[in-house]
Amino acid sequence: MSEQPDRERDPRTGKAAAALRIQHQTSWVDLQIRKAQERGDFDDLPGSGKPLDELIGRGDDPDWWVKRLIEREKITGVLPPALQLRKDDAVLDERLDALTAESEVRREVTEFNARIKHALLTNLGGPPVITARRDVEAEVQAWHARRRARALEQAAVRRTAPEPTGEPRRRWWARSRRAG
């Protein structure tokens, strides 16, 4: 075929434009870094002034970067199944209390039990599964009891709250009657 067209060659050097760009790319990057330093873009970065050992991690731990990523990004849910189930078991009551319907509570407990069963039947490695399954009916009864206790507590707080003084509170549907 023919040579490359003139527009792809630098007329001063005769080199291909792509080769010229690659040759000058490092100087362009250095220039951008210098400009950013002058603007102060690198001032007060996290880790400035700290030894590199703390920033990089220990050389004897091959997973240092994963641990740092999990810590920095606050990533959850990457535990071995047995440990994740223990963690979920510890907060299950709080999760159930946030639900508003008995059917949702039943579904949540059933799914939790299914995850325990799956972890027991599949050997994915890691520590053994010691989390016990939850009885759905007992959890629903406990959920109802906690709801009743909260409702009684809120009612007691409302009874002991001081009466508002001043004008009676106007309802949203009440029209103002002004003489006009």
pLDDT tens for each residue of the chain, 180 residues long: 444 444 566 667 666 777 767 777 778 888 889 999 899 888 888 777 777 665 555 566 777 777 777 788 877 767 788 888 998 999 999 999 999 999 999 999 999 999 999 999 987 777 888 999 999 999 999 999 999 999 999 888 888 877 666 666 667 776 665 554
Residues 133, 117 contacting (CB under 8 angstroms): yes
| Token code pair at residue 104 | 């949702």
Dist CA 66 CA 17 (whole Å): 41
For residue 14, the model assigns a pLDDT of 67
Residues 57, 71 contacting (CB under 8 angstroms): no
What DSSP line would sit under 25-71, residue for residue?
HHHHHHHHHHHHHHHTTTTT-TTTTS-HHHHH--TT-TTHHHHHHHH
Q: Running DSSP on this structure, what letter comes out for residue 77?
A: S
Instruction: Provide the CA 48 distance to its chain's centre, in angstroms.
Output: 25
For residue 50, the model assigns a pLDDT of 73
What DSSP line would sit under 130-141, residue for residue?
-PPPPPHHHHHH
Q: Three-state DSSP class for 150?
A: helix
Dist CA 109 CA 93 (whole Å): 10
Dist CA 88 CA 78 (whole Å): 12
**SS3 sequence of 80-111:** CHHHHHHHHHHHHHHHHHCCCCHHHHHHHHHH
For residue 52, the model assigns a pLDDT of 63
